[in-house]
Structure 1
Amino acid sequence: MDSLAATPGTGPATSPLPVVRPPRPAAKFEDLPAGRTALMGILNVTPDSFSDGGQFDDLDSAISHGLRMFYAGADMVDVGGESTRPGAEQVPAEEEQKRILPVVETLVKAGALVSVDTMNAATAAKAVDAGAAIVNDVSGLNFDPKMPALIAERGVPYVLTHRRGDAGTMDQHADYDDVTAEVIEELKSVRSKFFDAGVKPEQIILDPGLGFSKRAEQNWELLRNMEAFTGMGHPVLIGASRKRFIGTLLVDAGKAAPVEERDQATAAISALAAHHGAWAVRVHDVASNLDAIKAAAAWGGGR
């Protein structure tokens, strides 16, 4: 946030004025690092997200946290105004936009590359107008029917995520005979609808949807088979950060590890995902995960 300057003249300032800082040039998707996996920082402007709900649900705290992630080295900041955790209630598009648009505008002016985490085409359109460079949509098979045309029209990169059902029902749709093969086929089915609307292949980024209509072992199975996703010809985003399947791995005294104790395991997954060709990882803790993917890049000789 901008600091305040005293009114020029003698005596104490009575009407502090904001210091006007010129906006930085807009960040571009093409400027993302080529020699390593990119890092997408998570900014939930929500009262009910599973990890940090309520921590950044007012404008000042959201902007401050987004800037902290940006200055800590996040290559992208992913701004969302609706929780996508299992059981979360749907947020009206107008409320979602009220939460996120001022945050998007401010971070873009600060020079951050901003992604908008939304399932609503109307919100995506306004966020792109405000400077967002990427649309990250976790709606999966139940995508907004207006979204393909919007992505084709605006020409922005689009994260196509696998999910069955919605927040209220997705846990009921986690039955697979071959989770990797079925997730790939369902991603292809949704992808074809975007192609039919005029979206170009180079706009698509794939996310296997860890935690969305998946049980713990199914998430690990998808990670073990990550090459099947990178082999589909698109960049792959991995979003494992602090999710339930990590908590159930780190059981202590019969209880899953709380979210704030899942960052080390998340960083390990980020390093392994980077080693296996992930385009980006989406995480809550920037510092530990940036170190992890830099180490993976050095190990792989910059691959």
Structure 2
Amino acid sequence: MWLFVAVLAGLYLLRRWHRERQRVPDLANKYVLITGCDSGFGSLLARQLDARGLRVLAACLTEPGAARLRAAASPRLQTLVLDVTSSESIAAAAAWVEGCVGDRGLWGLVNNAGIAVPAAPNEWLRKEDFVRVLNVNLVGLVEVTLSLLPLVRRARGRVVNVASVLGRLSLFGGGYCPSKYGVEAFSDSLRRELRDFGVQVSIIEPGCFRTPLVESEAARASVALHNNNFLRLLSTANSNLSLVTSAMEHALTAEHPRTRYTCGLDAKLYYIPLSYMPSSWTDRLLHSSALKPSGSA
């Protein structure tokens, strides 16, 4: 009996390994737009896909960020300045992208732009503090997606939305965790709607990685916390950003992309399993860890 189960499990894993190694053909003629390319995941992914020969359209918030990226990439890579909180900026970007891709459409849209602060106990914050984060991480993502969806559908392409392990398990107050829960919900509904059009939607769920977003904003955000959950998250931060960008690349280039990509051992071994536990267990574990002094093991 157990031998039969082991053989079935082995065949399943072998089939999955084979499917995940299959790649989409003609990548050199496929366009991918990535938001939030000034630094971090977006910048690394843009350079990574550019090296693979894809036609990368990298959206940066600032012109200096765009200039740095152009200097580090091949002439194939094109940049644009995009503020995902501005409808006018998004409309202009959509028109520019359509002019670039033409009849072939947009193969990939990677919604990567995001911010983390203000983050603090909810009672300390105002509505405007939540709106600031939600406008970038969720509302901006939705508007960019809706504006470019006709081009993605034309190419029967891919939408890759960057959520977070904190879209499964909320660790601190402010707009960041609600925004990532919203990205999960929007992505799920979008995936089911677009399935019959040949468009595939994937969600990236990183744990904590040492990006400029974390390095520059987390210290200021963590000062305002009652407990050490945010600091505890930072203590597990991973500096290997390629774990996330490789998942993004697979979602864009694999013949059979996954629905969700969980990135980082902290996410896979702690936060995601914790999110499936009974709420009373999760609350107790998080509360007990938060009570420890920040310097304790």
**Same fold (TM > 0.5):** no
- TM-score interval for Structure 1 and Structure 2 normalised by the shorter chain: 0.3 to 0.5
TM, length-normalised to structure 2: 0.37
Say which structure is richer in helix: 2
